[in-house]
Amino acid sequence: MKTSIATVSISGTLPEKIAAIAAAGFDGLELFEQDFLTFDGDAATVRRMIADHGLRLTVFQPFRDFETLPEPQRQAAFDRAERKFDLMQELDTDLMLVCSSISPLALGGIDRAAADFHELGERAARRGLKVGYEALCWGRHVSDHRDAWEIVRRADHPSIGLVLDSFHTLAKGIDPQTIRAIPKDKIFIIQLADAPLIHMDLLHWSRHLRNMPGEGDLQVGAFVQAVCATGYDGYFSLEIFNDQFRGGSAQVVAHDGKRSLVQLMDQVRRDLPGVAVPAAPMPDRALVHGVEFVEFAADETRAAALGEALHALGFRKSGRHRSKSVDLYRQGQINIVVNTERQGMAHSSFVARGASAYAIGLQVDDAKATLERAVALGATPFDQEPNPGDIRMPAIRGIGGSVIYFVDRSADLVQLWEHEFVNVEDSDRRADGGLERIDHVAQTMFIDELLTSLLFYTSLFAVKKLPMVDVVDPGGLVRSQVIENERGGLRLTLNGAENRRTLAGHFLTELFGAGIQHIALSSSDIFRTASALAANGFKPLAVSPNYYDDLAARFALPPDLVRRLAEASLLYDRDDSGEFFQLYSRAGDDGFFFEIVERRGYKGYGAANAPFRIAAQKRSLPPVTLPRALTQP
C-alpha cells in the first residue's frame, strides 16, 4: 500500500510537517499550497527537503475555481494554471488537484467543463503533468463524483483524471458502489477522511470536523472497498481538516494517520477476500475475554494505604512474588498487583507519576499474535528483562506511558500466578465483598488525546464504540467515549478533560498525564456487598439526599427501595434492558477511586449519574492538597 497525507492535516511549519510525515512511515505527501506560500524558502529547497526524508510529493493542491468561466476570467484561469505548472516542475511533482468551482461566475454545463479540462489536459501533457478533478460536496455546479466522472470521461484526455475523496462522497450520502464503474486508470489519487455523523453545513463540517478513518462514523470502509474493486493500486492519501489536529502534535497526528490507514486496509482485505487489496497480512483484531490483572506502582507507604483500601473492599493478600517486591490481592476473578520494586518500569512510573495503576493485563486467545498486530499498527513493544525463572509476557506501551500485557492460555501463561507467586496467609480476615470480576476500566486523558486513544484500541481489539457522551462536572464538561466488545470481556470508558478544574482534570494534573482513574468491580448482589463492605470499614461516597428525592420521582421507585438505596449510598439507573446499581469509594487526593456495580440486564455505564457522583467526589476532596495517596476506606 502506498500512503500519503496532506500537509494541511497536521500542525507546524513545513519542515516540521515533512519530518513528522516521514517519521510516521508515509510514502508521500500532498503539498497544500498555503504551506508552501508561508514557507521562507524556494521550491528547490522544498523539493530537497521532501527527497531527503525519503518521501515523494504526490499532489500539489488545490487549484480552485477553474472550469466553465466566462471570458476574460477563463483565460486568466488558464494563465494561473500555467504558473502553477511551472511551480510543480520546480517541486518535482506531476499531479495537480483541481476542485470543482464555487465561483459565482461559473456558468456550469458538463460539456463546457469537459472542453475546459480537455484544453487543460493538452497544456499539462506538454509538460508531462496530470490534473485530477475533485467534486467538492458544496461545489456550485458539480458536487457529486458521478458528475465529475462524466466531465472527465467527456474530456477524454490521458492527462485528466479523477480525485476521489471519501468525505465528499459519504457526507452527501452518495452510494460509494457507483465508484466501481470508473476505470482504474482514470482515478489519479484517493483521499480519505472520516467524520462524526452530524447534520450541519457541509463546508463547515468538512473544514473543521474531519478525522482519521475509524475515528468517525462515515462508511469509509465501504468507500475503499468500491475503490479496490476497480483494481486501483495508487496512493491512498489522508486529507484531514480538523481544528484540534492543527493545534496538536504533528508527530502524534501523523502517527495516528498511518495507523488508521493500516487498520482500514487490513479490514478491507478481510471484507473482500477475492479482490486484490494493497495491504500486508497481519493477525486479526484480538478478542479480549477479560481483564486478567491491574498492576499498581507504589512505595511502601502508599502500598500500605492501597492494601487497607483493598481489604476494606473484601480483598485478601494471597501471594508474594518469588523474586520481587510485588504483592497479589484477590477476590473472585479479580487480580490486583501492587509493585513496590525499586527498579524497573514500575519504579520509573512511580517516580514520574506517583502511586498509580500503571499496567493492565488482558486475556486474549493468542498473546504473540496480538503483539504482532500491535507492532504492525505502530505500537511500541515493551520488554523488561525478567528475573531468572519469571515468565516473559508480550506487552506494549499503552496510553499515557502505561503498559498493556497480553495473557493467553498457553502452557506458560496459564500457570502465571502459581509459577511466580508464593501463597501467603493474610492476617487481615475481613469479610469477602462478593466482588466477582472487573466490569470496566476508566482512563482519563486530555481532550485532544481522546481520538488517538479511540483509534489505538479499536484498531487493535475487536470492540465497538458507543456514542460519545458529554458528562457535566461543576468545573466544566468531560467527553466520555465507551468502547466494548459483545461479550463484555473488555469495557473501557475513555474520558477527555477539557480543563483542569474538573475532577478528571485534577486527576491529570496529579498524575502528570493520562492514566487509569477508576476501576469498576462487579457484584451480583450489591446490597449484600454494600453491607459487607460497611462491616469492613469501607466509607462510601456520600450522595446528596436531593438525588434520592429526584430518583423516586423520576423512576417511580417503591419507597422501600429508595430508602435502601439511600442508606447504602447506592446510585441507580435504568434503561430498556434492565437496572443498574453503583457504589463508589471516595476519591483519593489524586482523584483515583473504585466503583462497584451490579448489572441486571443493563447495557450502559450510568452516565446519567455522573454529575451527581462527580459533585459528591469533589465535595469529599480535602481542602488542602496532600501528598498523593490512593483511595483509603
Task: Give the residue numbers of the binding site for a divalent metal cation.
Answer: 134, 165, 191, 239
Q: Where are the alpha helices (DSSP H) in 92-199?
A: 110-125, 145-155, 166-170
How many CB atoms sit inside 10 A of residue 309's CB?
23
Q: Where are the alpha helices (DSSP H) in 53-144?
A: 73-91, 110-125
Residue with cell 525499586: 342
Q: What are phi and psi of 301, to 5 degrees?
A: -65, -45
82-89's contacts with Cβ under 8 Å and 24+ in sequence apart are: 82/123, 84/60, 85/123, 85/124, 85/127, 85/129, 87/36, 87/43, 87/60, 88/60, 88/129, 89/127, 89/129
Check residue 577 and report its DSSP letter: T
Tell me which residue of 350, 354, 329 sits closest to 341, measured CA to CA.
350
Task: Work out the angle between the directed axes of helices 43-52 and 73-91 (0-180°, nearest 10).
Answer: 50
Rounded distance, CA 600 to CA 265, Å?
39
Check: CB of residue 628 under 8 Å from CB of residue 298.
no
Strand bridging mode 435-446 / 491-497 = parallel
Write the DSSP string, 471-529: EEETTEEEEEEEEE-TTSS-EEEEEEESSTTSHHHHHHHHHTS-EEEEEEEEES-HHHH
Strand bridging mode 464-465 / 421-423 = unpaired
Contacts of residue 314, defined as CB under 8 A and 6 or more positions apart, other chains included, come to 331, 430, 431, 432, 433, 434, 435, 529, 532, 533, 536
* Distances in whole angstroms, Cα of residue 594 to Cα of each of 42, 307, 358, 597: 58, 13, 15, 10
Q: State the binding site.
A: 134, 165, 191, 239, 440, 518, 595
Q: State the binding site for Mg(2+).
A: 440, 518, 595
Strand bridging mode 571-575 / 515-523 = unpaired
Contacts of residue 589, defined as CB under 8 A and 6 or more positions apart, other chains included, come to 510, 621, 622, 625, 626, 627, 628, 629
Q: Where are the alpha helices (DSSP H) in 272-340?
A: 300-312
Rounded distance, CA 496 to CA 448, Å?
7
